[in-house]
Structure 1
């Protein structure tokens, strides 16, 4: 290791930095800012440290204070994200979802606050909701065939009041949303799930959804075939769903966000007696399913109550670290990195080549382990898309795949 990541605090603010000479860097801070404290230092490869620092600064850019150096974020939060980005391996049989994690003190406090707010009546918010409905009804009555039938100033006044009323209601919703987002962050941390969706960096250029796990799914099942054809799966009784992601770095320095876990929070009464059905579908897709109702943040309820939402967590059976290694050496990643240039290759039918590139880039079910045209045909294109190697000489779409694999195998990729 030729570098360090360091986390410093100064009052309520936190700083993350990197260096190849820790003693010298800390000595410099001591001279210019005697009030700082060292929260943590972590040995790391200097290139890896730079990558992590860049991501952290992107994630918390809205929390910047005092220029570009310090964040109004607790150091423990930044430390957790650093740990995620270092991607320390975890064995499959050590997944926290296998045994569950009790609510932390902060999670319990947030849940109580959300419960309290859901149970409280806010007269001003109720009045704003009522007024907003009246304004929208009034505005609608001012138009016939999209032509205003009242003087323009009155219409403008109504629009301005709608905007102000919506903004007030938006602030209430934002405050509630922030608590729920924080609970999602705690859940991600304790269950080692990576980044919640709202914390993804800005420079993510592709989001690859969690649809199935090729290593464990039932390839002949109808649910797998539908998932491949639609590039999406909706699990039974899925509601208030969200994803959790790990990052794969591209050669350009940008990232692909790989969904490595998903959460569904249906109402308890809607799934009463339906757990076995959900489990069976998840199993056919090659996913683990576990229930953690105490962690549900959409519409939580007191423990042992049958109201509110529960929480189902879905994870691939293949360990996350294995999936990330597969991504790093995959044909799909190579195509994503070069998609614009690959579309400019000379080909008998440019539109078909463009479609093949786009299909690979956007297909969340495209196998990561295929390393040849024959492999992708046998495992994927023939069984699900009816493209057979015997038709290579006459099928332009298959020829487009052949060209891409030739480029990959010929020194530009593998």
Structure 2
């Protein structure tokens, strides 16, 4: 009986932050239904069967909860919810249609691309960029990535949206070098970014959207896109088809928009007092006379696009980040100790700054 009670308490402790986060994302879903979907995503038929199997607390490593997005969605669909493959709850509002001038640009592209022996590739590139810029403004996805912008000192590619992601994202991030996220079925991609300011007047950018323009009849495109949808949902991103806007061989390609759920206005607020911003601002000072381990930890943190901006402390970091993406540090090691000390320095600096205001 004591073991069963302990197991139940451990389960509640492990599930509560997950359920709280998912309730904020899926606020339209009944609490009991969300609990059932979480159990299904963890590989159980029902919430009751999950709890029954957890009588022996050693049977299940509660520290490592990985929810299968497809199973999570399937359970909610069976409970009567209209949920897309990327976990967006429907019905969704109709997206804006391309205005007349945009449709005329697409017609110009067709004329330049189809049946022409010697296409004017410079004209095609200019017109595609004009379409991409207009699309970005219409859908508010940020600016087209500009690698020549000297005001940007660091760029982060697609990262997890920690406010709304499902546990288990670490497996995706760890499958590619540098934590790179590659949505299956993607081709002819365009990256869009948002800037975050530094006190020096310089900026960092994070990827705020990706547009993929694969051929509709391309090899394995259909299968790839089917895999990409639950992957996007798990990461806290959405996946939306907007084929009428496609500027790459219009009519023959999809336009698939991937973007995080959390808007840039909130990300900007999180950035202002984030551990990551503080570490970047103080990097030179912290690396001065530092040993190899501290230097490596600092560089690893700043290179990673997946570190949450809204961390509140080291335990929060262990729970939401290290256990998923850096498990060798999760249970404690020299690097973990350095990571913890850096976060303690940040917390002290943040508290001091708050008192001085």
Q: The TM-score by the shorter chain falls in which range?
A: 0.5 to 0.7
Structure 2 counterpart of 1:197, from 145, 150, 156: 145
TM-score scaled by length of structure 1: 0.57
Alignment of 1:175-254 (within 5 A): 175-198=123-146, 201-220=149-168, 223-226=171-174, 230-254=178-202
For 2:187 and 2:263, the matched residues in 1 are separated by: 26
Alignment of 1:327-346 (within 5 A): 327-344=271-288, 346=289
Shift of 1:222: 6.6
For 2:303 and 2:171, the matched residues in 1 are separated by: 20
What is the aligned partner in structure 2 of residue 363 from structure 1? Answer: 304
1:399 matched to 2:337? The reply is yes
Contact 2:275 2:346 in 1 (8 A): yes
What is the aligned partner in structure 1 of residue 319 from structure 2? Answer: 378
Consecutive unaligned residues in structure 2, runs of 5 or more: 1-87
What is the aligned partner in structure 2 of residue 111 from structure 1? Answer: 106
Higher strand share: 1
What is the aligned partner in structure 2 of residue 148 from structure 1? Answer: none
Contact 1:381 1:388 in 2 (8 A): yes
> Structure 1, residues 80-115: CA drift from partner, whole Å, max 9, x if none?
xxxxxxxxxxxxx9xxx9521111233212211111
SS of the residue corresponding to residue 366 of structure 1 reads coil
TM-score scaled by length of structure 2: 0.66
Moved more, 372-381 or 109-118: 372-381
1:410 matched to 2:354? The reply is no
Alignment of 1:74-93 (within 5 A): none
1:354 matched to 2:295? The reply is yes
Q: 1:260 to 1:380 in 2, by over 3 A?
A: same
For 1:109 and 1:389, the matched residues in 2 are separated by: 55
Shift of 1:341: 2.4
For 1:198 and 1:112, the matched residues in 2 are separated by: 27
Higher RCO (CA < 8 A, seq sep 6+): 2
Contact 1:223 1:281 in 2 (8 A): no
For 1:298 and 1:335, the matched residues in 2 are separated by: 40
What is the aligned partner in structure 1 of residue 262 from structure 2? Answer: 318
1:256 matched to 2:200? The reply is no
For 1:259 and 1:382, the matched residues in 2 are separated by: 24
Contact 2:293 2:335 in 1 (8 A): yes
Contact 2:166 2:234 in 1 (8 A): yes
Q: 1:173 to 1:352 in 2, by over 3 A?
A: farther
Contact 1:262 1:314 in 2 (8 A): yes
Contact 2:185 2:222 in 1 (8 A): no
